[in-house]
């Protein structure tokens, strides 16, 4: 079984940057306030109300810095928890919400809902250049069903493993097109923490942890 669970220093980057900017603003504010107090006219001291307003601004900046630091800690803690939860899933089959499908070892699976108003589903797989590789119409059943792509295009040529776009359009008994929800399945090969979020890898397909719909039973 191969896979990876990695962590990078990108977590909480936006909050950290905001904290740095606020810290710089706070230092500038303190310098200006100190200079103002040192150079005030003894016969005309700084107005009490004005100083109070400045101190209120000072306290407000301190609160913002503290909030950003707490936010950074919360984001880091959440991502660490998600990364720990993802580790045992490496090598497992999972179902995710995605408009792309991962071709792994020459096979990819699209999960289709039960028949309702839509009686059939038209599935189209395209490559990164937008070329249609496969288009097939599937009859929907009374329960959720799966459509498996064998990785071949319309001419029968085998495509390399990788991530491919997939579009699913439902059609009713009269052939009228309608939106149809779907999911994709694949083997989880890695998890990575970085850029303020946790990403999962299904072969060449990368997606957010939030897209995870279910972990499939072994076998």
Question: Domains in the chain, please, with CATH?
Answer: 1-92+188-219 (no CATH), 108-183 (2.60.40.4070)
Check residue 186 and give its pLDDT. Answer: 96
pLDDT in tens, 141-197: 999 999 999 999 999 999 999 999 999 999 999 999 999 999 999 999 998 877 667
What is the rounded average pLDDT for all residues in the chain? 81
Higher pLDDT among residues 76 and 91, named by residue: 91
Check residue 31 and give its pLDDT. Answer: 75
Site of tokens 């999960």: 111
Alpha helices in the chain (DSSP H): 13-38, 48-86
Check residue 10 and give its pLDDT. Answer: 47
User: What is the chain's percent helix, strand, coil content, to nearest 5?
Assistant: 30, 35, 30
pLDDT in tens, 116-150: 999 999 999 999 999 999 999 999 999 999 999 99
pTM (2 d.p.)? 0.66
């Amino acid at each position: 079984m191969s896979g990876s669970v990695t962590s990078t220093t990108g977590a909480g980057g936006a909050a950290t940057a905001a904290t740095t900017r606020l810290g710089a603003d706070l230092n500038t504010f303190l310098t200006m306030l100190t200079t103002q107090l040192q150079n005030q006219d003894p016969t005309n001291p700084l107005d009490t109300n004005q100083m109070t307003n400045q101190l209120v601004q000072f306290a407000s900046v301190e609160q913002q810095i503290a909030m950003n630091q707490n936010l950074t800690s919360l984001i880091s803690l959440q991502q660490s928890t998600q990364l720990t939860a993802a580790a045992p899933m490496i090598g497992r089959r999972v179902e995710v919400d995605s408009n792309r499908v991962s071709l792994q070892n020459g096979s990819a699976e699209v999960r289709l809902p039960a028949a309702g108003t839509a009686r059939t589903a038209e599935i189209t797989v395209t490559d990164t250049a937008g070329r249609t590789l496969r288009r097939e119409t599937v009859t929907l059943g009374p329960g959720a069903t799966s459509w498996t792509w064998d990785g071949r295009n319309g001419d029968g040529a085998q495509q390399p493993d990788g991530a491919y776009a997939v579009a699913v359009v439902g059609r009713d008994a009269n052939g009228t097109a309608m939106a149809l929800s779907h999911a994709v399945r694949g083997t989880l090969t890695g998890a990575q923490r970085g850029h303020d979020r946790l990403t999962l890898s299904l072969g060449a397909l990368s997606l957010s942890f939030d897209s995870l719909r279910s972990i499939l039973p072994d076998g």
